[in-house]
Amino acid sequence: MSDLLSLLSTPKEATAFIHHHMGNFTIGQGLFSVNADELIMSWLMGGIVLFVAWRVGKRLSLDRPGRLQSVLETVVEFVNNQAKALYPKADPLIGPLALTIFVWVIVMNVMDIVPVDLVPTIAQVVGLAFGVAEPHHIMFRAVPTAGLAVPTALALSIFGLTLLYGIRAKGVLGYLKGYLSHPFGIWLAPFNIAITIVEEIAKPLSLSLRLFGNMFAGDLVFILIALLGFSWFALPIQAGIGFLWTAFETLIILIQAFIFMLLSVVYLALASDAESSH
Amino acid sequence: MSIGLTLLVEIITFALFVYAFKKLLWKPLMGVMDARQARIAEGLAASDRGMEALQKAEAKSDDALREARDQARDILAAANQQAVQLVEQARETARTEGDRIVERAKAEVDREVQAARESLRRDVGRLAVQGAERILKREIDSKAHAQMLDQLAAEI
């Protein structure tokens, strides 16, 4: 208990604080280590959505949708409209895929505007209660999308799907021919190969790094605001900046989720477009 | 620190989530929305059909009304015509009857006049003979002069 009190009352030391919030809670050693904090938070946030969806789905109403049902319907319809606009062919996977990306990324991003100390402190308290480690050694990243693993996992999944869709649309040979003949025609095949490979790799890379960079930076700014430290004099300024940044981040959260969804569908649409040489 | 395993787990998580989202969120809600859309479309179509039926019924009732009015007008015209015809016929009958009566009366009168004239002539003849008898007294032999007297009577 005294440890806990000392934890709450210790003055914040900048390096340790940042390390503490941005470092990962890792389990395992070396190649087999996993970032448990990212897994827990991503499962938790996705699970909450699924739980709500399950609760709502048990009593769907045609005539008198409840409030939650209306909200979910709005989201699903929005995603469906976007997906249909960008991917005109009927595909059983595109809709649910876009919906999953959009909703899951939003709810993971939402952890960004939860007070920075809340989740790590809970993690420390839990860690202390179960005697896992000293509170000062427990690091916890509350925003899964501010780590590299989740955005990269999403981007790589999309990349894999673009390969599958491309091969499905054009056949293996047709797909490989795209590397030879695009964008300069077959006579400049070596350049084409280099350029197309860079292009293909740039897609998932930019997709994941965009989300990661935005959320990491946003989280970092919150941490820096928290590091202004407590004093009666600075409190209004700190609260004001915090409020402004929260408002800004609320936009970023939605926009990044939207962009991620949109680009995923666009990449899949490009890949499955048999006419295009991509 | 390596994110390889985390990455792998998150990819699997993503795949499972896509499946779960499809099962729990996408399909039920799309089903509800599609059903609602179908119901709305059905309602609109039904209202369209009702509108059409209404218009058809209105047109039909208009037709029936117009037909009935036409028929009534025809019937009225026919009745009028018939009435006029009847009156005309009655008038004709009355006129011919009257003419006949007048004709008959005229003939009667003629006959009466003729008869009166005949009797008058006979009376005049007789009176003339009587007068002459009285004036001439015996000088006249009724037998000798009967032929002459008859001639005289016929001349009157």
pLDDT in tens, B47-99: 999 999 999 999 999 999 999 999 999 999 999 999 999 999 999 999 999 99
* From B21, B30, B35, residue closest to A100, measured CB to CB: B21
- 3-state secondary structure at position A250: helix
In contact, A127 and A138? CB cutoff 8 Å: yes
Q: Dmax over Cα atoms in chain A, in whole Å? A: 74
In chain A, alpha helices (H): 2-9, 14-22, 36-58, 67-86, 94-110, 118-129, 149-181, 189-226, 235-272
In contact, A151 and A208? CB cutoff 8 Å: yes
Phi first, then psi, for residue A103 (nearest 5°) are -70, -45
Look at A78 and A188; give whichever has higher pLDDT. A78
Cβ–Cβ contact B28 with A under 8 A? yes
Look at B52 and A148; give whichever has higher pLDDT. B52
> d(Cα B86, Cα A199) in Å, to the nearest integer?
107
Enter the DSSP assignment of A35. Answer: E
Q: Where in the sequence is the domain holding B131, given as residue range(s)? A: 4-155
Look at A141 and A72; give whichever has higher pLDDT. A72
> d(Cα A103, Cα A85) in Å, to the nearest integer?
19
Per mean pLDDT, which of A48-52, A141-145, B62-66 is the most reliable?
A: B62-66
Q: Is the pLDDT of residue A278 over 50?
A: no
| CA-wise closest residue to A169 among A249, A247, A89 | A89
Q: What is the pLDDT of residue A133?
A: 66
Task: Name the residue with tokens 């981007």.
Answer: A155
Mark yes or no for CB contact A153/B24 under 8 Å. Answer: no
Residues 6+ apart with CB under 8 A from B33: A73, A76, A77
Q: Which of B1, B3, B19 to mutate to test the interface with A (most CBs of A within 10 A)?
A: B3
The Cα of B73 is separated from the nearest Cα of chain A by a number of Å equal to 55
Q: Which of B12, B17, B36, B37 to mutate to test the interface with A (most CBs of A within 10 A)?
A: B17
Q: What is the pLDDT of residue B141?
A: 62
Residues 6+ apart with CB under 8 A from B32: A60, A61, A62, A65, A69, A73
* From A33, A54, A157, residue closest to B14, measured CB to CB: A157
Look at A158 and A175; give whichever has higher pLDDT. A158
> d(Cα A242, Cα A238) in Å, to the nearest integer?
6
Number of C-beta neighbours around residue B83 at 10 A: 10
Average pLDDT, stretch B32-45? 92
Residues 6+ apart with CB under 8 A from A132: A126, A138
Question: For residue A27, what are the β-bridge partners?
Answer: A34
Mark yes or no for CB contact B30/A76 under 8 Å. Answer: yes
The pair of structure tokens assigned to B129 is 């003979």
Task: Name the residue with tokens 């939860």.
Answer: A114
* Reported confidence tier of residue A121, pLDDT bands at 50, 70, 90: confident
Q: How many CB pairs under 8 A join A and B?
A: 114
* Reported confidence tier of residue A132, pLDDT bands at 50, 70, 90: low
Average pLDDT, stretch A172-190? 79
The Cα of A61 is separated from the nearest Cα of chain B by a number of Å equal to 7
Cβ–Cβ contact B7 with A under 8 A? yes
Mark yes or no for CB contact A149/B6 under 8 Å. Answer: yes
Catalytically active residues of A, by annotation: 206, 210, 214
Mark yes or no for CB contact A62/B13 under 8 Å. Answer: no
The pair of structure tokens assigned to A177 is 């021919």
**Mean pLDDT, chain A, whole residue set:** 84
Mark yes or no for CB contact B17/A104 under 8 Å. Answer: yes
| Chain A residue nearest residue B4, CA to CA | A31
Q: What is the pLDDT of residue A60?
A: 85
Q: What is the pLDDT of residue B142?
A: 63
Rg (CA), chain A: 23
Which of A62-71, A118-127, B28-37, B65-74 bottoms out in mean pLDDT, i.e. has the lowest? A118-127
The length of chain A in residues reads 278
Average pLDDT, stretch A40-58? 90
Task: Name the residue with tokens 């946003």.
Answer: A218
Look at A186 and B124; give whichever has higher pLDDT. B124
The alpha carbon dihedral of A206, A208, A211, A212 has a sign of: negative
* From A35, A60, A96, residue closest to B32, measured CB to CB: A60
Task: Name the residue with tokens 């996705």.
Answer: A46
Cα dihedral B97/B102/B108/B109 (nearest 10) = 170
Average pLDDT, stretch A240-254? 92
The pair of structure tokens assigned to A73 is 């319907």
The pair of structure tokens assigned to A131 is 């005697």
> d(Cα A100, Cα B7) in Å, to the nearest integer?
17
Q: Is the pLDDT of residue A2 over 70?
A: no
* Reported confidence tier of residue B126, pLDDT bands at 50, 70, 90: confident
In this structure, which amino acid lies at residue B32?
Answer: V
Please, how many CA atoms are within 13 Å of residue A169, restricted to the half-sphere of its CB?
22
Contacts of B26 in chain A (CB under 8 A): 76, 95-96, 99
The Cα of B31 is separated from the nearest Cα of chain A by a number of Å equal to 10
Q: Is the pLDDT of residue B41 over 60?
A: yes
In this structure, which amino acid lies at residue A158?
Answer: I
**Percent of all residues in chain A with a pLDDT value above 70, rounded to a whole number:** 90
> d(Cα A146, Cα A124) in Å, to the nearest integer?
20
The length of chain B in residues reads 156
Cβ–Cβ contact B42 with A under 8 A? no
Mark yes or no for CB contact A147/B3 under 8 Å. Answer: yes
Quote the number of domains for chain B.
1
Cβ–Cβ contact B36 with A under 8 A? yes
Q: Is the pLDDT of residue A86 over 50?
A: yes
Residues 6+ apart with CB under 8 A from B34: none
Question: For residue A34, what are the β-bridge partners?
Answer: A27
